[in-house]
Structure 1
Amino acid sequence: MFKGDLMFRNLRLKLTLINILIMGILLLLFILGTYFLMERQIIKQSEGVLRNLVAAIESGSADRLAEFDRTEYFYVTTNQSGIILKTYFARSDLDQRKYSEIVQKIVSGKRDKGDFDWHDHSYSFLRVPLQKGSGFLVVFVSIERDMEILGFLLAALAIAGLVCLALAFYSSLFLADKALVPIKKSWQRQRDFVADASHELRTPLAVMQTNLELVLGNPKETVEEQAVWLENIGTEVTHMAKLVDDLLFLARVDSEQQLLELSRFSLDRAIGEVIRPLLPLAAAKGIQLKQEIEADVDFSGDEKRIKQLVVILIDNALKHTPAGGEVTLALRTRGTCLELLVKDTGVGMASEHLSKIFERFYRIDNARSNNLEGTGLGLSIADWIVKSHHGSIQVKSSPGKGTSFLVTLPL
């Protein structure tokens, strides 16, 4: 297993466990909250029944007591010392002797109401002073069924919580995989970027080192005699400087530090300034550079980056067009957009490469890229410039029939 795979596997597990922990805490709070809320409701309900029973007993009305025939309750009257004077049982087969101990505790205690478990039974009680004479009336109501329901509710909530945690675990794994997709892509791009950059830098460094060794190996020769080696070194230094500049530019782009300097400028004038120094270069290669520039086109954007975009596209076309070919640069407006077209009659490329040429350091292993100088980053930079201006760039190409880049920018 690769180190990166292990890292992402551990990160996936960590994200899942964190999600499960948070979900478990929330479920636990929900279960406990629901349980205590229901328990409080049962206690409140039993208190209401007890007060109604007390009112019925104190009124001495048999009709009112008949309303509680289905309720398992009993009551006792005691003196101030807790000695039971009278006992009444409803729907219960327990006798007075079994309750004398708990009655003594209630009478001597400080609480007038509450609940307790005794001999595997659950009860609520209410203690009130006797209306006639000294002593107490203590009424008991069974809450056994209510507590059974409460216990069933707790068990059901616990089982549902475990099922939810199991579902959350698998859902968290799925979501963690989804969340890691862009991270994996970014990490892989970074690895590829570092590997490609080191490879691109290693080649000119090796050439420079070889040529320096040749120069140092012949210390008695003049500069003129070793001009070829020194020129090779100068060429590679220029190439490395360009590569480092492009790498720094893309690094700032990745860190979102490469901001645009927006202004309103004449686009046709800016393109003319860019094309002018490229005309001698095209003529020296035997390539005809045609211009179809619409006049009086104003544009809001970064003038420096737009010029850089044009240079990249024209330079790319000149590199891949043989002598006798043509490169056409056209600028025209289309409603609320403008179109910048760079078309060449060069070697072209197969369709499978069209979606990849904007990737950094992407190379086509054919005659299009052989013996051509470049950093492999130009089209990546061009793509960023277009997108940062909220535009789009399209490419069409066929082997042997040339390539065309169409840039559309909103006015």
Structure 2
Amino acid sequence: MFAKLRKKFVIINMSLLTIVFLVIFSVIYLLTAVAGERQTEFALNTIMFAPPRPFPDNPILASSMVAELDEKGHMVRSFSFMNMSQQIIGQAVEQAVQSRDLSGKIRIEESYYAFLKHNTGNGTRIVFVDRTPQHRMLMNLLLTFLLVGSISLLLLFLISIYLADKSIQPIQEAFEKQRQFIADASHELRTPLAVIKTNLALITANSEESVESQSRWIDYISSQTDSMANLVDDMLALARIDYMKAKTLFTRFDLSQTLSSTLLAFEAIFYEKHISLKQEIQEDIFLNGEKENIKKVISILIDNAIKNTGANGSITVRLASDKNKIEMRISNTGEGIPAEDLQKIFERFYRVDKSRSRENRGYGLGLAIAKSIIEQQQGRIYATSTPGADTSFVVEWPRT
């Protein structure tokens, strides 16, 4: 599919470039040819009705010859301002006389001439102008166009292939990510569906028992349906963020207050898990963004920190700003993240510890959602970690 798209891109691009080159070259060639024709026509008329004299200041007039014929068509006299043998003069006059037109072009050996005939009353006067230099110039111009055009189109062809690859690469990456996303989602749904199917089979096999006696299996089914609902919600959130990237309206809001109020919702969890919370929040920091999505990012990062902080651990939340940026840092004590996983943790469905993530009902979408939201709002998010000590997630926004 992408090979065909790349080929189509190159064909369209090269077709347009070829047409542009042909139009430009044709216009230049025609303008040059028309200018030469007008110059030749001017020279013929000037010489025809002027007395025979040299024209040193004009090479076109200087490269001319005049022949006068009597009423019977016999050449009476001729005078030439260019080096022409009597044989060539005779051939030129013969071809001009044979022509039914009053003006035209003739070729003698490797030379090209334009002529003009005029009836003088006593005979015919024929003026010849050598247009060999003009002809050679047009031929050289044509050859130059062919050479330059061929080389240019070859270079542009190579550039078009490069640009086609560059242009298609984001589409290909998006397609691959979408395909991988669907495959990962299908894989994640397979496990809870298998659990539900197994527990339903157990309930069906013991249909004579009471509901209370089979509450264990029912609880398993309920747990897995909740898990699937969370997965679907996260997938819809990602799809919504991708769809709204170009449509979100930003407003100015108090980020300091938003962060503090969001942390209040987690106080009970901190207390229950014996996690100490340290807050270093600079007041009156305002941000241009989408407030609800920023609150979602804060919740995702705090929830992630709680899941990865052991009992009696600590979480530190910092918010500060300078003249260049606003920085929010959420750190937690714990096992940390291996260096090889730091660049992957924001990928969809990526989990450092799959067993632990399953226990916490995580599917590896939270950090991907956070990254999409932050990038949508012109910020960046990254993680740092010291294995066996702590982990920090840092969000930065440029000052506006």
**Is TM more than 0.5 here?**
yes
SS of 1:405 mapped into structure 2: strand
Change beyond 3 A, Cα 1:379–1:352: same
Alignment partners' CA distance in 2, 1:122 and 1:181: 56
Alignment partners' CA distance in 2, 1:76 and 1:22: 54
Q: Tell me whether 1:14 sits opposite 2:4 in the alignment.
A: no
Change beyond 3 A, Cα 1:349–1:66: closer
Which residue of 122, 135, 146 maps to 2:112?
A: 122
Alignment partners' CA distance in 1, 2:208 and 2:144: 95
Q: 1:253 Cα deviation (Å)?
A: 2.4
8 Å Cα contact 2:55/2:62 also seen in 1? no
Matched residue type, 1:180: I
Q: Describe the superposition over 1:308-341 as per-residue Cα deviations: whole angstroms up to 9, x where unpaired.
A: 1221111101111122222233444556754433
Change beyond 3 A, Cα 1:198–1:366: closer
Task: Using structure 1 for the length normalisation, give the TM-score.
Answer: 0.83
Q: Tell me whether 1:92 sits opposite 2:85 in the alignment.
A: yes
Change beyond 3 A, Cα 1:44–1:314: same
SS of 1:28 mapped into structure 2: helix
Which residue matches 1:327?
Answer: 315
Which residue of 34, 48, 73 maps to 1:40?
A: 34
8 Å Cα contact 2:95/2:106 also seen in 1? no
Alignment partners' CA distance in 1, 2:166 and 2:308: 41
Structure 2 unaligned runs (5+)?
A: none
Q: 1:159 Cα deviation (Å)?
A: 2.3
Which residue matches 1:4?
Answer: none
Which residue of 302, 311, 316 maps to 1:314?
A: 302
8 Å Cα contact 1:31/1:158 also seen in 2? no
Which residue matches 2:235?
Answer: 247
Which residue of 220, 226, 234 maps to 1:232?
A: 220
Q: Which moved more, 1:143-152 or 1:292-301?
A: 292-301
Change beyond 3 A, Cα 1:136–1:180: same
Which residue matches 2:175?
Answer: 187
Which residue matches 1:3?
Answer: none
Which residue of 376, 390, 393 maps to 2:378?
A: 390
Map of 1:286-301 to 2, 5 A cutoff? 286-294=274-282, 299-301=287-289
SS of 1:226 mapped into structure 2: helix
Which residue of 180, 197, 200 maps to 1:212?
A: 200
8 Å Cα contact 2:315/2:332 also seen in 1? yes
Change beyond 3 A, Cα 1:45–1:89: same
SS of 2:22 mapped into structure 1: helix
Change beyond 3 A, Cα 1:207–1:75: farther
CA RMSD of aligned residues (A): 3.3
Change beyond 3 A, Cα 1:176–1:294: closer
Alignment partners' CA distance in 2, 1:230 and 1:84: 123
Q: 1:54 Cα deviation (Å)?
A: 2.0
Q: Tell me whether 1:163 sits opposite 2:127 in the alignment.
A: no
Q: Tell me whether 1:71 sits opposite 2:63 in the alignment.
A: yes
SS of 1:155 mapped into structure 2: helix
Which residue matches 2:348?
Answer: 360
Q: Describe the superposition over 1:97-139 as per-residue Cα deviations: whole angstroms up to 9, x where unpaired.
A: 7456644455x54x5x443446775321223442xx4654221
Q: Which moved more, 1:250-259 or 1:353-362?
A: 250-259
Q: Describe the superposition over 1:7-43 as per-residue Cα deviations: whole angstroms up to 9, x where unpaired.
A: 3333333322222222222222233223222222222
Q: Tell me whether 1:401 sits opposite 2:394 in the alignment.
A: no
SS of 1:177 mapped into structure 2: helix
Alignment partners' CA distance in 2, 1:50 and 1:335: 78
Q: 1:283 Cα deviation (Å)?
A: 3.0
8 Å Cα contact 1:397/1:404 also seen in 2? yes
Alignment partners' CA distance in 1, 2:96 and 2:339: 95
Alignment partners' CA distance in 2, 1:389 and 1:379: 15
Task: Using structure 2 for the length normalisation, give the TM-score.
Answer: 0.85
Structure 1 unaligned runs (5+)?
A: 1-6
SS of 2:125 mapped into structure 1: strand
Aligned residues: 395
Alignment partners' CA distance in 1, 2:245 and 2:381: 23
- Give identity over the alignment, percent: 35
Alignment partners' CA distance in 2, 1:244 and 1:122: 83
Which residue matches 2:164?
Answer: 176
Change beyond 3 A, Cα 1:260–1:36: closer
8 Å Cα contact 2:6/2:168 also seen in 1? yes
Change beyond 3 A, Cα 1:171–1:402: same
Which residue matches 1:376?
Answer: 364
Matched residue type, 1:176: A
Change beyond 3 A, Cα 1:265–1:143: closer
Alignment partners' CA distance in 2, 1:299 and 1:145: 73
Alignment partners' CA distance in 1, 2:187 and 2:66: 92
Alignment partners' CA distance in 2, 1:65 and 1:393: 80
